[in-house]
Amino acid sequence: MENTEIVNYLSYLVKSYDRVTKVIAQTRQTGMAYGLLVDDADDDCALLLKGKGKEVGMLTVKGRLSREIEKELPQWDVWERWLKYVPGIGPAIGAKLILMFNYRSVAVCKDCGGRLEKDDKQLICQECGKVAKDGLLKYRVERRDYATISKWWAYMGRHTVDGVMPKRKSGELANWSTEGRTLGFHIGDQFNRQKESNPYKALLIEHKAKHQRNHPEWSKGHVHNAAKNEVVKIFLAHFWTISRMLEGKEISEPYAGAIMGHTNIIKPPFWEESEPCIETHKGHASHAAVEMRV
């Protein structure tokens, strides 16, 4: 998948979806602050969200964007053969994962096309030395590659420093993606909402029970968040493995098995290597051909 126009269009749809979602949340919060029932179908304020008659509301726009994203996703094998069968991973989350994993947008000089990099709060072209003027920047899509699972985790903000996930510090540039970490939280929340028959929800329950046994001093919130983070890392490891395998790239041995000696490998559910998930649409988890352990 190297067509720049296709990647740019998907990026445009995802960013538009996020902006509409943010405005919807802000509209609801503002309505609550003024005591207005913005979600009440009989309230005039609800027109902004739900619309009325021929009037289109923001929720309708959000739904249209989601459907348009879903139309584009079959062009990526990882969606068509796996992600769309994973309960909780809808089009918006799937599209963000695909974009974050495969591509990056690089600001380029409008004059020579060279890469722009920030220096003393200015964007300077590394080719011609010109300073980019304020205004709308031009971007170029470049392929991204994570040679190991740990690099993918680190970009998504799921790595640990001294046993905890690092936080942003004032005045320091973080080496991980804020959007990636936020997406991980959303993925964890989606898995938590699933039925216990969902393999990722079952893993979440299992990890919570483990932490409750091993750390009785932890609060319920701490236990829940720790378990959720671990399940998100497992899912991201599955995504890394299947994505690279579908592209014919080398798949290194999982860190936990190679370094820490773990043998209880967790296989990606809802995935079948030889056939495109024939039974998973019925809710049955198929056995995976690729083994993975976090």
State the 10-residue block means of pLDDT for the chain, 294 residues long. 83 96 90 75 71 81 96 96 95 97 86 76 79 75 90 90 74 79 96 95 95 95 94 94 90 54 69 46 31 38
Q: Return the closest-CA partner of residue 85 out of 261, 227, 277.
A: 277
Establish if 290 belongs to a structural domain. no
**Domains contained in the chain, number:** 2
pLDDT of the residue at 237: 92
Establish if 258 belongs to a structural domain. yes
pLDDT of the residue at 284: 31
Indicate whether 80 and 67 sit together in one domain. no
- Please list the alpha-helical segments (H only) found in 73-129: 77-81, 91-102
Indicate whether 23 and 94 sit together in one domain. no
Asked if 137 and 116 count as a contact pair (C-beta separation under 8 A), the reply is: yes
Indicate whether 70 and 97 sit together in one domain. no
Asked if 138 and 110 count as a contact pair (C-beta separation under 8 A), the reply is: yes
Establish if 294 belongs to a structural domain. no
- Answer with the one of 30, 56, 75 that is the final residue of a domain: 75
- Look up the pTM and report it: 0.82
- The parent domain of residue 18 ranges over 1-75
b/e per residue 47-76 (b: at least 16 CB within 10 A) = bbbbeeeeeebbbebbeebbebbbebbeeb
pLDDT of the residue at 283: 32
pLDDT of the residue at 57: 87
Asked if 165 and 159 count as a contact pair (C-beta separation under 8 A), the reply is: yes
Cα(15)–Cα(10) distance, integer angstroms: 9
pLDDT of the residue at 118: 76
Residue 290's H or E segment, with its range, is none
pLDDT of the residue at 293: 37
What are 59-107's pLDDT values in tens digits? 999 999 999 999 999 999 999 999 999 999 999 999 999 999 999 888 8
Establish if 177 belongs to a structural domain. yes
Beta pairing, strands 116-119 & 55-56: unpaired
Indicate whether 149 and 224 sit together in one domain. yes
pLDDT of the residue at 234: 93
| Residue 38 DSSP SS3 | coil
Indicate whether 82 and 150 sit together in one domain. yes
Indicate whether 13 and 115 sit together in one domain. no
pLDDT of the residue at 33: 85
Establish if 292 belongs to a structural domain. no
CB < 8 Å & 24+ apart, contacts of 241-245: 241/149, 241/268, 241/290, 241/292, 242/78, 242/81, 242/82, 242/268, 242/271, 242/290, 243/78, 243/101, 243/102, 245/273, 245/290
Indicate whether 81 and 16 sit together in one domain. no
Indicate whether 250 and 136 sit together in one domain. yes
Cα(56)–Cα(59) distance, integer angstroms: 8
Indicate whether 29 and 98 sit together in one domain. no
pLDDT of the residue at 108: 83
pLDDT of the residue at 173: 65
Q: What is residue 213's DSSP assignment?
A: H
pLDDT of the residue at 37: 67
Asked if 37 and 78 count as a contact pair (C-beta separation under 8 A), the reply is: no
Indicate whether 133 and 47 sit together in one domain. no
